[in-house]
Amino acid sequence: MVCSLNPNLVLIGFMGTGKTTVGRRCARFLGFRFVDTDARIVRRVGTSIPEIFAREGEGVFREMEARAVREVAGYVHVVIATGGGVVLNPENVRLLRASGILIWLKVAPEEILRRCRDRSTRPLLADADDPLERIRAMLNQRTPFYEAAADTSVDATGLTHEMTTRLVLEAYRTHAAQWRGTREECEESS
């Protein structure tokens, strides 16, 4: 278990909810380093996410994602932006929860569709005849996983990235205070 003064900030949520952009901004405010599990995979493999899905399949991508989570969850004082499917693997959730505060970014499906206009970069949306229907179906399936993993959530529907960043930082600060309390108790009793 990582016992640091400040917990990491972990952003979870569906594609197009602003995890990367908001995560970068939060990192600047907190003086933390920013890491992104998708970017890490792309850097390691040297090809894009759609290419990994096309050549190797989703299963291989999920293994790479789990490896990226294992690495970044061990860092301290980082903001971690995750891929939308990271919560489907319970081991990912366990590691991320031990590393910091998980904030779930929520956005309404219609707005997700607008934000993901370039579907070619999102292999799980690219082949859908009705992308809005695909987004709704995936959200229905994943919502219980986001709910179970998250410490708290921020509804970013209709908000600018700046406003979302403010709300995320507020949520982080509230939960970080509780988190530190828990870790201090844990250190004292060990």
Nearest approach in angstroms of CB 4 to ligand S3P is 26
- Can you tell me the distance from the alpha carbon of 165 to that of 169, in angstroms, rounded to the nearest whole number? 6
Site string for ligand S3P, 131-160 (x = CB under 6 A): ------------------------------
**Residue 14 or 176: which CB sits closer to ligand S3P?**
14
Restricting to residues 49-88, name those near ligand S3P by CB under 6 A. 49, 83-85
- Can you tell me the distance from the alpha carbon of 78 to that of 93, in angstroms, rounded to the nearest whole number? 16
Given 122, 164, 169, 171, the residue binding ligand S3P (CB under 6 A): 122
Neighbouring C-beta atoms of residue 97, cutoff 10 Å: 16
Neighbouring C-beta atoms of residue 88, cutoff 10 Å: 15
Nearest approach in angstroms of CB 102 to ligand S3P is 15
Which residue's Cβ has the minimum distance to ligand S3P?
Answer: 83
**Residue 10 or 176: which CB sits closer to ligand S3P?**
10
Contacts of 117 (CB under 8 A, 6+ apart): none
The residues that bridge with 35 in the sheet, in sequence order, are 80
Q: Does 40 bind ligand S3P (CB under 6 A)?
A: no
Phi/psi of residue 106, nearest 5 degrees: -110, 140
Classified as helix, coil or strand, 67 is helix
Residues that bind ligand S3P (CB under 6 A): 15, 19, 38, 49, 83-85, 122-124
